[in-house]
């Protein structure tokens, strides 16, 4: 029987590429999304992957969404916490709402989703959780105290949960992408983006499938001894 994977924010950008890579790897994939029904419908038509709308910042919605996926696909073997947003502004201009929305959507979601699937993984003595962090959670970024804090939090969350999962054969890892050519990066002002690209040693933005290949490895049986790690995929922009 095919293993089951949930990918949050799976209908666009990096999440979409992850869904396709996991489907190609033999998973039965469920893609979650937040509100863009048109993109989700297009995604499902083009990929044949079912899409489920719920807000990952909402604890109850995550419990219900995961239960529905389990009913339709079977018990969840792999969770990819990918959904995320930016609300960039310097701290002088950033509102409390900008802060909270980014913390809840990017970091709170990891707790909400892991709470829903971890008990089943523990029972099955198998699980794979991959959390999508960011180079900006590792290095910080001007205009992103909310996002950098949330992504940095994801890296700590990953290491703590990896310790809890290890004895049950549940691995928990993070990927820290650099700048990838999705809608999220397209929203960065051109003059700022030019400077960012100039600082990437390989001289270009990354592609979503370059992140998806990392996820496919981490959820595979080739990665049985990899847990609590952060895989940086950033074109050499941040090395440490």
**Which residues contribute to the site for ligand CAA (CB under 6 A)?**
86, 88-90, 134-136, 141-144, 147, 179, 184-185, 188-189, 192
Of all residues in the shown chain, the one whose CB is closest to ligand CAA is 143
Q: Which of 3, 7, 15, 162 binds ligand NAP (CB under 6 A)?
A: 15
With H, G, I as helix, E, B as strand and everything else as coil, classify residue 32. strand
Binding mask 79-108 for ligand NAP (x = CB under 6 A): ---xxxx-------------------xx--
DSSP 80: E
Report how far residue 153's alpha carbon sits from residue 238's, in angstroms, rounded to the nearest whole number. 18
- The yes-or-no answer on residue 147 being catalytic is yes
DSSP lists the bridge partners of residue 174 as: 131, 230
Stretch that binds ligand NAP, among 13-21, 72-80, 117-125, 155-163 (CB under 6 A): 13-21
Selection from 115, 109, 89 nearest residue 189 by Cα: 89
Please say whether the beta carbons of 117 and 79 come within 8 A.
yes
Residue 99 binding: pick among ligand NAP, ligand CAA, none (C-beta 5-8 Å cut-off by kind): none
Per CB under 6 A, does 55 bind ligand NAP? yes
Please say whether the beta carbons of 121 and 127 come within 8 A.
yes
Report how far residue 138's alpha carbon sits from residue 231's, in angstroms, rounded to the nearest whole number. 11
Shortest distance in whole angstroms from residue 147 CB to ligand NAP: 7
Active site residue ranges: 147
């Amino acid at each position: 029987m095919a293993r089951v994977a949930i990918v949050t924010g799976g209908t666009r950008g990096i999440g979409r590429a992850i869904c396709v890579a996991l489907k190609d790897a033999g998973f039965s994939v469920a893609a979650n999304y937040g509100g863009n029904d048109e993109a989700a419908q297009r995604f499902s038509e083009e990929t044949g992957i079912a899409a489920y709308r719920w807000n990952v910042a909402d604890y109850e919605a995550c419990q219900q969404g995961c239960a529905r996926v389990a009913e339709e696909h079977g018990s969840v073997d792999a969770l990819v916490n990918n959904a995320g947003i930016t609300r960039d502004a310097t701290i002088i201009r950033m509102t409390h709402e900008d802060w909270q929305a980014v913390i809840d959507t990017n970091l709170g979601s990891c707790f909400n989703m892991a709470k829903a699937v971890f008990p089943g993984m523990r029972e099955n003595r198998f699980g794979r959780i991959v959390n999508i962090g960011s180079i900006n959670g590792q290095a910080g970024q001007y205009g992103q105290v909310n996002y950098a804090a949330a992504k940095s939090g994801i890296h700590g969350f990953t290491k703590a949960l990896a310790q809890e999962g290890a004895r049950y054969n549940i691995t928990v890892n993070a990927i820290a992408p650099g700048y990838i050519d999705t809608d999220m990066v397209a929203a960065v002002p051109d003059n700022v983006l030019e400077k960012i690209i100039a600082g990437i040693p390989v001289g270009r933005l990354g592609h979503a499938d370059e992140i998806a290949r990392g996820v496919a490895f981490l959820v595979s049986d080739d990665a049985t001894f990899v847990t609590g790690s952060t895989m940086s995929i950033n074109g050499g922009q941040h090395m440490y």
